[in-house]
Amino acid sequence: MANEPQIQQDDEVMLLNMGPQHPATHGVLRLVLALDGEVIRECTPVIGYLHSGFEKTYESKKYQQCVTLTDRMDYLNPLGNNLAFALAVEKLLGVEAPPRAQVIRVLLAELTRIQSHLVGLGSNGLDLGASSPIMYAFRDREMLLDIFEMVSGQRMMTSYIRPGGLAKDIPPGFEEAVQRFIDYFPEKLDEYHGLLTRNPIWMDRMVGVGKLTAEQCLELGVTGPMLRAAGIPRDLRKDMPYSGYESYDFQVVTRTESDCYARYLVRMDEMRESLKIVQQALNRIPDGPYVLDDFKHAYPPRQLISDQMEALIHHFKLATEGYRVPPGEVYSAIESPRGELGFYIVADGSGKPYRVHVRTPSFTNLQCLPVMAKGGFIADLVNMIAAIDPIMGDVDR
């Protein structure tokens, strides 16, 4: 696709095309490699195979319809993407979600982080030929997907967090289901540590592989677990708190080695920290409305539509025209499982966004792959990709 790379060929160098259909590239990523024996001289990522024109599509959708596009960009972080978009639109509207919605948002965003890291862990194992971690990880992820299905009716494309609050209230049995997971999961995490962390093969393949200095990470705009594995404690949940993250007690996990092993450990420890946040959120879900009771922005409850003329009118107006967002622009970012996920929205006063740009962490983080791969072995390449944990839908949008 875009930009066929020009790589100097000589007798020593072999050009190898890897992807876009390759099981270990985590999607349709294509890499053009210049190889000297087994050593990578140069690695050029070629992206765009999953370009689906999300940013253009946003411009033709009403704000409430846009929510459904956000979770389709990163299928491992649906609720986080919903949240990032909702926060940006709320800033444009000048409103804030009610406290009950805020706490449930944090709870779900952290559960999403855990399930994303679980898939990252499982597929990293698979890339290195260990096929049991993915079975274990998917087993636990299933519990989380059941919780998402419980609240939103969907396992992955949740569209549950909306501007103004949530799509509907949490169902009965939700708290018990989350508590069951909190009680169940720490033991399993220990099991994964036992399975992998001191495993000699795992360590051989991970320690010292894909090293990047902190300076390189900063220059390349890397964010998220990759940057924290380079010893830089940057986390938007702490640095620019949103949805009340400042009131939760958790640590920003860092390592200093900045290799694939450090990134793996950061993600493992982040799951434990996320679990801490989930427990705190679960203990403090307040009573009250789950969405703004201003029917100019949120659908009135079904019962009210049958009873009140005004509610019916509001429903009709919202469904046909959407709500109008006052003119202005905003950039608002959250800490997704992969790093800084930001929505830039220009509103022109109508019911549809004028321009939406999504600053996705996968796109920016993938830029460091050529730097990381240079001089490494081709056998380690899939490992390095797994350590970036890119989602191609998030890269290409």
Partner 1 sequence: MAASEGLLQAVAEAIGDGLLATDEDRAGAPILVVERGSLLKVCRLLRDGEWGFTHLSGVWGVDYLAMGLEPRFAVVYYLYSPSLRSRVAVKVPLEESDPVVPSVVEIFPTANWHERETFDMFGIRFEGHPNLARILMPDDATIHPLRKDVPLGGEEVEFTHNAERIRRQRAAESPEVSRN
Measured in residues, the chain has a length of 397
CB 232, min distance to partner 1, A: 8
Considering the complex, what minimum distance in angstroms separates the CB of residue 397 from partner 1?
Answer: 8
How far is the CA of 2 from the CAs of 49, 62, 75, 118, in angstroms? Answer: 9, 31, 24, 32
φ and ψ at 261, to 5 degrees? -65, -45
| Residue (123 or 223) nearer to partner 1, CB | 223
Chosen residue from 75, 136, 138, 354 binding partner 1 by CB under 8 A: 354
**Mask of contacts with partner 1, 139-178, x by CB under 8 A?**
----------------------------------------
Instruction: For residue 290, state whether it binds partner 1 (rule: CB under 8 A).
Output: no
The nearer residue to partner 1, 59 or 307, going by C-beta atoms, is 59
Backbone angles phi, psi at 63, to 5 degrees: -55, -40
Nearest CA to 296 among 279, 277, 313, 308? 313
- Using CB under 8 A as the binding rule, whether residue 230 contacts partner 1 is answered as no
Cβ–Cβ under 8 Å, residues 29 and 48:
no
Site string for partner 1, 317-346 (x = CB under 8 A): -----------xxxxxx------x-x-x-x
Q: How far is the CB of 106 from partner 1 (least distance, A)?
A: 19
d(CA 32, CA 40): 10
Q: Is 3 in the site for partner 1 (CB under 8 A)?
A: yes
Q: CA 166, 284, 174 angle in degrees (round to 5)?
A: 55
Q: Of 154 and 350, which CB lies nearer to partner 1 in the complex structure? A: 350
What is the C-alpha to C-alpha distance for residues 16 and 33, in angstroms, rounded to an integer?
5
Say whether residue 239 binds partner 1 (CB under 8 A): yes
Left if phi > 0, otherwise alpha if psi is -120 to 50, otherwise beta: which for 208?
Answer: left
Identify the residue among 153, 208, 221, 289 touching partner 1 (CB under 8 A).
221
The residue among 197, 199, 192, 198 whose CA lies nearest residue 140 is 192
CA distance 28 to 25: 7
Q: Which two tokens stand for residue 113?
A: 């982080």
Angle between helices 260-283 and 99-127 (to 10 degrees): 150
On whether the CB atoms of residues 367 and 223 are closer than 8 A, the answer is: no
Which residues, 67 to 96, sit near partner 1 by CB under 8 A? Answer: 91-92, 94
Of the candidate spans 2-10, 32-40, 150-158, 382-390, the one that interacts with partner 1 by CB under 8 A turns out to be 2-10
Question: For residues 86 and 206, which CB has a smaller minimum distance to partner 1 in the complex?
Answer: 86
Residue 124 or 223: the one with the smaller Cβ distance to partner 1 is: 223
* CB neighbours of residue 276 within 10 Å: 15
Size of the site for partner 1 (CB under 8 A): 44
Among 28, 40, 47, 212, binds partner 1 (CB under 8 A): 47
Q: Which residues here bind partner 1, judged by CB under 8 A?
A: 1-4, 47-48, 51, 53, 55-57, 59-60, 91-92, 94, 218-221, 234, 239-240, 328-333, 340, 342, 344, 346, 348, 354-355, 357, 359, 363-364, 366-367, 396-397
